Structure 1
Amino acid sequence: MQPLSDERAPLEGVIETTIGALRGETTDGIARYLGVPYAAAPFGERRFRLPAPVEPWQGVRDATAFGPTAPQAPYAGALGELLPTVAIPGDEILNVNIWAPSDAAGPQLPVMVWMHGGSLKHGSNALPGYDGTTFARDGVVFVSVNYRLGTEGFSVLEGAPLNLGLHDQLAALRWVQREIAAFGGDPARVTVFGQSAGGATVAALAASPVASEVMQRAIVMSGPLEVKSPADAGRITGLIARELGVPATRDAFAAIDPDRLVAAQAKVLAGSSPLGGGPAFTIAADDDLVPASPADRLAAGASSNVPLLIGTTTEEYRLWLVPSGAVDKITRLHLAIGRRAAKISATAVRRYRANRPGAKHGEVFGAILTDVLLRRSEYRVADARATAGAPTWVYEFAWRSPVRDLGAAHAVELGFVFDGLAAPDSVALAGASAPQSLASAMHAAWVAFATAGEPGWPQWNAERPVRVFDGAGDPVVPAPRLDELQELGG
C-alpha cells in the first residue's frame, strides 16, 4: 500500500490500494483506472442491504474497462433520443472510475467526485459525457461513481434500510478518503458534485451529519433540495409491489430477479416525469443520513463550513415539455388548475406571463414549476447561508441550445461543465456547434472552485450576485427575475 503523504509521485501502470493492486492505462499523460469496486456486489444475500466492504484480491486486477452498471431501463420516447443509456452486465455495480495526471510530481491534487443524474433510476459513470480527462488535464483527480438506482436503490421496504443508493455514495466517498492518495489525490480537498438527481443526492450528503467526514466542498447542479416522508417516498414501492403481486418487504423483493423488478418499475413509471407528476423515486427522510430536507438543514446552518456552489439552467422544464410536445398541449385551464394545486397566486402567474410576451401557456407553466421545484429553495438556502457567513456561490446556465428548441434546458450544461462538447451525449443536447468559449469558462470555474475554493465571481450576499453563463459575456447579474420569485414567496 502506498503510504499517505502530502506529496505525490508520478503514477505508473500498477498501483497498490488497501484492498489490492490495480493496473490502469495511460494516454497523453492521463492515467485511467476504471471499474474499481468500492463496495461488494449488492446481490444475493447482500441485496437490499447496506453496502458491504470489498473482499481484498490477490494479484493485479485489470482496471482498463468500465465496470457493470446498475439495473435500469433506457429512457423512453423523445428523452431516449436525447439522453443515452449504457448497459454493462455484471454484479459489481458499486464501482468508481478514476482519471488522474500521470506525470506530475509534488503536492497531492484536489479531488472531484461526480454523482450522475437520471431521476434516481437512470444513468451510469460509463457515459461518454462523464469522461474525466479534462479535469485530470487541469490538475484534478476525478472520480465518477456508480450507485444503486430505482427499486434496488430507493425503495421503501419493510426490513430494509432507506436510501440505499445514497448509502452507496457515502461508501464511495469513504473509499475516496481511504484510497485516493494512491492516485495522487488529496483526501482533505474533496469536492463532491452532481447534476439533477445527482445534485439532489449531493445536497442530501452535504446537509447530512457525516458531511465533514467525506467532503470539503460541494456543487449542486439543478438538484431538488427537498425530500419526502418515508410514507410518501414509499408510494412507488407500493405500486411496484402491487404490480408484482408481492408485499413491500425486503424478503419479497430480494426474491425477484433484478430484470423483472426493472420491468415492473418501467410499467409503473410509464408517462410520469419530474414536472408532469406521477410516481417517482425520491430520497426519503430518515433519522440517520437524512434527518430533514437539505433545504431546511442547510438553511439552518448545517455544513456552514463547506463552501457551496449551486445553480440551475434558465429553462429546466424544456427537457420534459418540449421534445414530448407537452408544452403545446398545456392550456390556460391546465395552468389554472396547476397553479391552484401548487398554491400559487393568480398574481404570480400574471407576473410570469408579463415577463414572457407571447409565451405559450406551457412555457409559463414550465417556468413557474422550475422556480417552485428548484430556484426558490436555492435562493432561500443561499440567503440563509450568506447571513451565517457560509461561503456560497450561485450560477445560472442561460445559453440556448438550438437542438429541438431545447433552449437552456435541464442537462444541456453538462457538456460545458465537462469541457466535452464533442462527446455524443453533449452533441445530442447542444448540437455540433456549441461555443467552446462557454465550455472553457464553465469548466474553469468548476476547477477553480475545487482547487482554490472559489469559482471566480462574488460570494452570495445582500445583492444576490448570479454568474449567468450565456455564452455572450457570462455576466454577473443581481438576482435574475427576482420579481417572479418574490411573487412565489421566495
Structure 2
Amino acid sequence: MRITFSLLFLATATLARANETSLPLIDTTSGLIRGHSAPNRTCVAEFLGIKYAAAPIGELRFAPPNRFTAPSGAFYEASKWNLADTDWFPNFTEPSGLRVWKNFAAQNNNPSSEDCLALNIWTKGPGISAKKPVLVYFHGGRFTIPGPHSPFFSGQYLADTENVVVITVNTSYRLGIFGFSGAPGATQNVALLDQRSAVEWVRDNIEGFGGDPSRITIFGQSAGGSSVDYWSFAWRGGPHRRRTDPSVRDLPQLPPEHKRVFREPLVQRLAGRRLRGAESEASSVLACVRAADVVTILAAAAKVPALPTLALPQATFHPTIDNATVFADYEARAAAGRFARVPMLAGNNDFEAGWYKLSAWAARTNLTEAQWDLYDERAFTCPSSYTTKYRVQHGVPTWRYRYFGDWDNLRLYNGTAGLGPRGSGAYHGSELEMVFGTAQGVSGVKNSPTEDAMSKYMMGAWVAFARDPQRGLLADYAWPRYDPAGELMVFFIPHRSVYLDASHNKTLI
C-alpha cells in the first residue's frame, strides 16, 4: 500500500494538562486505546506497547508482517512496554559511565518475546483538532540488540518541549535471525518490512493522537539510520527522512553467504543433519525451523561465527541483498537519483569509535589511534558525505552536521595510556540524549546548564526540520543547506554551534 506524504503547516492549539481521568479513548485499528500521563512530563500522554502487527510466530515466523486488527470493541490499556525480540571494560567514569553503557547496549535484563511488533506514542492533548508533525524513530543496535524500555528513547521530553507526536519503533521490529533469517523459501529482510508496517499503522491512526499523517518524518541512529536510507531506495515515495548516523556501515550480505549462515551452521544444529542445498528441501527446512522453540533457535544462532572484518566483527544475521528492500548497487542508484526525493538531515559524531572501543576491548582487539580514526572515516564520515552529496546533486534539500558533545554525565571513560588519550569523546549514539532530552534520565546525574542549552537547541532544530523539511532549518535556525563543494555544514560544539562557509571560515549561529 502506498504512503503519500506532503507538506502542510497548521497552527497548533493551546493544550490542556493530560491525566488519567481526562485522557480520551483513541479509536484505532488496534482497538480502543487509552494511555496514561508520562512519568516525568505529566502533560504528555504516553501510549506503550500498541500492537500494529500480529505476533510473528508459527507460520508467521520469518514471514512478512501481518497487520493486526483488533476485534470489534476491543480495548487496550497502553500502560506497559511491549517485550523485545532480545570481562568489564576498565576505567568507566563514575557514577554514570557504566550506567549509560548498560542502558544503550540493552544490558538491562529486559524480558523478550517473538510477540514484539508494537510501538509507543507520546503526545500532548490527544484527540485535539490541530495536527502536529509526527516523528517516528528506528533504534540502532546492529539489527541484533533490542531497545525496550530504554531511557535513551523516551519521547516524553521532546513531545512536551516541541509539541510534536513522537513514536518509537524501539520494541517493534524483528532482530537477528528472526528479522534477517536467510531461510530458504522465506521472504528476506522482514524486519525492514516490519518498519514499513509500523509507519503504515501511524499513517492510518495518528490523527486520533493529534498527529498530521501528511507530515511524517522517520529518523534513526546506527542500524536505524541504515534503515532510513534503505527505505529511501526501496520506497521512493517515502516520508521526509532524517538520519542521526550515516548508513551502510555494515555492508549487506550477499545472498549465498546469507543462506550459508542459515543452512549449514544453524539448521545443521537444529535438524541434526547436513543439508545438501537442494531446492526441494526448502519447505522442509523452513517447517523445521518454524517448529523449533525460540530458546533452541537463539542458542543455535549464537553459535554461528561472527562475520570477520578488518576492525570489528559484523553481526551474523543482518540485511541481505534481495533487490527489493536492499540492493547491491547503491552508488549507481544514488548517482542516478533513484531514491526518494525528499529532504534529508544527516550527520555523525566526532569520535564514533569512542563507543566501539568497548567492543574491541571485550574482543581483545587492539587498534592504534590512527586506525580508530580511519575506522571513523570509512564507517561514518565517508558514508554520510556520499549520501548527502548525491542528494544535493539531484536538487534535494539537504543538511549535514557533526556533533562534538562530550559531557561529564555522559562520558563513558577517561583516556589512559592503554586505551588512548582521548577518552570516549563524542561517541557513537551520544547525540541521542540531546535530541530526546534524556541525558539526565540516562545517566542519573544532573545536566550542566550548557548541556541543557545544547539539548534544547538540537530538539528545536530537529523539529524545525520535521515541521517544514524544505525551509524550517534555514528560516528558524539560519542553517545553510549542505554544499559538498565548500563542505558547508553545521558543527555542534559545546557553548556554540557553528557552520563552515565555502572559504572554511567558521560562523557562529
TM bracket, shorter-chain basis: 0.7 to 0.9
Match of 1:466 in 2: 489
2:236/2:341 contact within 8 Å kept: no
Change (3 A) 1:227 1:105: same
Alignment partner of 1:420 is 2:438: yes
Please point out which of 379, 386, 389 is paired with 2:392: 386
The one-letter code sitting in structure 2 at the alignment partner of 1:63 is: A
Partner-residue secondary structure (3-state), 1:155:
coil
Alignment partner of 1:31 is 2:62: no
Partner-residue secondary structure (3-state), 1:382:
helix
Match of 1:436 in 2: 452
What is the Cα deviation at residue 468 of structure 1? 1.5
Alignment partner of 1:47 is 2:61: yes
- TM-score (norm. length: structure 1): 0.80
- The separation in 2 between residues aligned to 1:269 and 1:471, in whole angstroms, is 41
Change (3 A) 1:91 1:280: closer
Q: Deviations over 1:302-342 (max 9, x none)?
A: 33521111111111122122575379963xxxxxxxxxxxx
Partner-residue secondary structure (3-state), 2:496:
coil
Alignment partner of 1:69 is 2:84: yes
Match of 1:99 in 2: 122
1:236/1:279 contact within 8 Å kept: no
Change (3 A) 1:327 1:66: closer
**Percent of residue pairs identical:** 28
2:103/2:151 contact within 8 Å kept: no
Match of 2:412 in 1: 403
2:103/2:152 contact within 8 Å kept: no
Q: Deviations over 1:437-482 (max 9, x none)?
A: 222222221111111214331111231222111213121136999x
- The separation in 1 between residues aligned to 2:497 and 2:25, in whole angstroms, is 43
What is the Cα deviation at residue 298 of structure 1? 3.5
The residue correspondences of 1:69-468 to structure 2 (distance < 5 A) are 69-70=84-85, 72=86, 78=89, 80=102, 83-85=105-107, 87-102=110-125, 105-137=128-160, 138-145=162-169, 146-208=172-234, 210-212=235-237, 214-224=238-248, 226-237=251-262, 238-244=264-270, 245=272, 249-268=285-304, 275-277=311-313, 279-292=315-328, 294-322=330-358, 324-325=360-361, 330=366, 362-401=368-407, 402-404=411-413, 405-424=423-442, 427=443, 435-453=451-469, 454-455=472-473, 456=477, 457-461=479-483, 462-468=485-491
Q: Deviations over 1:27-59 (max 9, x none)?
A: 532111110001000012211111002132333
Partner-residue secondary structure (3-state), 1:403:
coil
Match of 1:351 in 2: none
What is the Cα deviation at residue 219 of structure 1? 2.5
What is the Cα deviation at residue 84 of structure 1? 2.8
Partner-residue secondary structure (3-state), 1:385:
helix
- The separation in 2 between residues aligned to 1:480 and 1:100, in whole angstroms, is 43
What is the Cα deviation at residue 242 of structure 1? 4.3
| Higher alpha-carbon deviation: 269-278 or 53-62 | 269-278
Match of 1:341 in 2: none
- The separation in 1 between residues aligned to 2:427 and 2:44, in whole angstroms, is 32
1:85/1:123 contact within 8 Å kept: no
Change (3 A) 1:56 1:147: same
Match of 2:419 in 1: none
Change (3 A) 1:275 1:198: farther
RMSD of equivalent CA atoms: 3.2
What is the Cα deviation at residue 92 of structure 1? 3.0
1:275/1:320 contact within 8 Å kept: no
Partner-residue secondary structure (3-state), 1:435:
helix
Aligned length, in residue pairs: 438
Change (3 A) 1:127 1:322: closer
- The separation in 1 between residues aligned to 2:26 and 2:245, in whole angstroms, is 33
- The separation in 1 between residues aligned to 2:127 and 2:33, in whole angstroms, is 19
What is the Cα deviation at residue 234 of structure 1? 4.1
Change (3 A) 1:474 1:54: same
Match of 1:21 in 2: 32
Change (3 A) 1:279 1:216: closer
1:304/1:385 contact within 8 Å kept: no
- TM-score (norm. length: structure 2): 0.78
The one-letter code sitting in structure 2 at the alignment partner of 1:168 is: D
- The separation in 1 between residues aligned to 2:465 and 2:68, in whole angstroms, is 32
- The separation in 2 between residues aligned to 1:68 and 1:315, in whole angstroms, is 32
Change (3 A) 1:179 1:82: closer
Q: Which runs of 5+ in 2 are unaligned?
A: 1-7, 90-100, 276-281, 414-422, 505-509
Q: Deviations over 1:152-172 (max 9, x none)?
A: 001111011110111100110
- The separation in 2 between residues aligned to 1:431 and 1:236, in whole angstroms, is 46
The one-letter code sitting in structure 2 at the alignment partner of 1:282 is: H
The one-letter code sitting in structure 1 at the alignment partner of 2:125 is: S
- The separation in 1 between residues aligned to 2:503 and 2:245, in whole angstroms, is 17
1:466/1:479 contact within 8 Å kept: no
The one-letter code sitting in structure 2 at the alignment partner of 1:49 is: A
